[in-house]
Amino acid sequence: MDDTQGIRVSKLLAERGLCSRREADGYIERGLVFVDGRRVSQLGTRAAPDAVITLAPEARATQARQATILLHKPIGYVSGQAEDGHQPAASLVTAKTQVAGDRQRFQLAHMKGLAPAGRLDIDSTGLLVLTQDGRVARQLIGDDSKVEKEYLVRVEGALDMPSLALLNHGLELDGKKLRPAKVAWANSDQLSFVLTEGRKRQIRRMCELVGLRVTGLKRVRIGRVRLGDLPLGQWRFLREGEVF
């Protein structure tokens, strides 16, 4: 195929959920990617949209070793890099804070390239996913991600039915309409929010638009994975067979 035609192999790999684009470039440079049975090792290589693309066993073995960690983030920690004197949530991932009974043992190698797959505000708590696996990151925070995130939100203020309907669908932030949400009362002072997007401080800003003030926010589920009884400030590995 002409070098100017087709789609970059790294993009195709990412779109098919085989790895992230960054990982794809690394695999291509190491000669671990095959297009229609032919090994490719040149960055920028393009292929037909329907090309058969596979990873070498060495690449799949590397992926199998990549860790995904579930952390119960406390208030006061930022999701990503340290900022304004606040520690990143990843600093809580140590051998001492691993939940008792986790089958896999923590190793320092699990920290290499470990990054949050989504944000959780400094003043929010609950389930935060940190991963070395680009496939997981894309699934949870890719532009086309539809994975649900569920939150319990404690609020102050009056909420009538029209405003509740607006929370479910009809609001916009920064001039862009929000995707439909599932918002309902969980109990007398907590709302349940189920979202498929993650704009910055989205829930707090949504609530402000209908006259509510958030006094507590906890993420309890991402896809099919629940926070469950994971203690605050502790973490565990994503278990074999557990998928978002």
Annotated catalytic residues are 121
pTM of the model: 0.81
CA distance linking residue 55 with residue 31, whole number of Å: 9
Q: Which pLDDT does position 4 carry in this prediction?
A: 64
What was the pLDDT predicted at 84? 79
Report the pLDDT value the prediction gives residue 159, as an integer from 0 to 100: 95
Q: What is the mean pLDDT of each run of 10 residues along the chain (244 residues)?
A: 76 86 90 93 92 90 86 96 86 96 91 92 97 90 90 96 96 96 94 95 97 97 97 96 92
Per-residue model confidence (pLDDT) at position 29:
93
DSSP string covering 121-186, please? -TT-EEEEEEES-HHHHHHHHSTT----EEEEEEEES---HHHHHHHHTT-EETTEEPPP-EEEEE
CA atoms within 13 A on the CB side of 7: 14
> Minimal CA–CA distance to 44: which of 96, 90, 1, 82?
1
